[in-house]
Structure 1
Amino acid sequence: MGFSLKINSSAQLDLKSAINWYESKQFGLGKRFFNDFENTLIRIQSNPYIFRLENNYRNALLDIFPYLVIFDIDDQEIIILAIFNTHQNPTKKP
């Protein structure tokens, strides 16, 4: 059985904020960010346990953009907790 995926409300806000920021910099860049995010979700769903465990949560880097997807695994459900810009101060990391 595969893993289901849930994106919590805080992570949804992170995602919208990042998409809007990139789109404001260049038309179409927000879409490219979202595609990179979706590809990362596919990798996470296919094998969530390969990603590094840090402070009880797992981290997956996007391929192109400087962001981490921070997630937890509860039984067969992957819960996306945050989408973190790696250029931010690391103390802000959830």
Structure 2
Amino acid sequence: MNYNLIIQPEAEHDIQNAFEWYESQNPGLGSEFVRAVDACLSGIGRQPLAYQVIYKHVRRVLIRRFPYVILYVFEQNTVFVFACFHAKRDPKQWLDRIE
């Protein structure tokens, strides 16, 4: 079953910024990043409860090949993606988005 997936504007902005940075480092790498994000989002949409809870009801998915994580909550059969952050980034920044 595929669940409804809503990507918050802040998360879209995170993905766009990471794409632009990777693309500036090596042409084509930004597109690889976006494909990896899409694969993660597909997995979340199919099995949202399969991923680790890291804080209260927030779950995290590691993006393969890239040091980024997708952060989301699953409520009422809907996945709300609220961040796509570098794994070493200060957690306070994403905590501010959910509180």
Structure 2 counterpart of 1:74, one-letter code: E
Give the structure-1-normalised TM-score. Answer: 0.91
State whether structure 2 residue 37 is matched by structure 1 residue 37: yes
* Equivalent residue, structure 2, for 1:64: 65
For residues 1-94 of structure 1, the aligned pairs below 5 Å read 2-55=2-55, 56-94=57-95
Gaps of 5+ in 2: none
Structure 2 counterpart of 1:12, one-letter code: E
Give the structure-2-normalised TM-score. Answer: 0.87
Q: Where do 4+ consecutive residues of structure 1 move more than 2 Å?
A: 87-94
Gaps of 5+ in 1: none
Task: Report how far residue 77 of structure 1 moved.
Answer: 0.9
Task: Report how far residue 43 of structure 1 moved.
Answer: 1.0
Task: Report how far residue 50 of structure 1 moved.
Answer: 1.1
In structure 1, what is the Cα distance between the partners aligned to 2:10 and 2:73?
Answer: 14
The share of aligned pairs that are identical, in percent, is 27
